Amino acid sequence: ILNVEQSPQSLHVQEGDSTNFTCSFPSSNFYALHWYRWETAKSPEALFVMTLNGDEKKKGRISATLNTKEGYSYLYIKGSQPEDSATYLCASDEFISNFGNEKLTFGTGTRLTIIP
């Protein structure tokens, strides 16, 4: 995987249902994996930053897991509510040793719409 890929691109979920989506990223030179929520007409808001293989983080009804060996992360939303409607972005932070810094690459996002 050369780029950060998110699937699906868009998703419609009935209110109250649970859902999940995927972020795939290059597993080599892995440094960190970020998840952001971006609501229409607002700024992207950080959800999680994950660094360790097997990491699992939770914030309210939203949780995320990380597999750095195979290069994927899942975001789960339990009991979807209308306020969960947003675009969910993941970003992979790779350590670029040649330059001693990092490279942050975003996916195109999963656009989630909750149907009341």
CA distances from 54 to 38, 57, 70, 84 (A): 25, 10, 11, 25
Single-letter code of the amino acid located at 44: P
CB of 17 to other proteins, least distance (A): 27
Euclidean distance between CA atoms 91 and 94, whole angstroms: 10
Interacting stretch for other proteins, rule CB under 8 A, among 18-26, 54-62, 66-74, 86-94? Answer: 86-94
- For other proteins, which is the closer residue by CB, 31 or 76? 31
Among 2, 28, 42, 60, binds other proteins (CB under 8 A): 42
β-strands 72-77, 45-50 pairing: unpaired
Among 11, 13, 22, 49, binds other proteins (CB under 8 A): 49
Burial of 45 (0-12, 13-18, 19+ CB in 10 A): exposed
By the rule CB under 8 A, 45 interacts with other proteins: yes
The residues that touch other proteins, with contacts defined as CB under 8 A, are 4, 31-32, 34, 36, 42-46, 48-49, 51, 89, 91, 93, 95, 99, 101-109
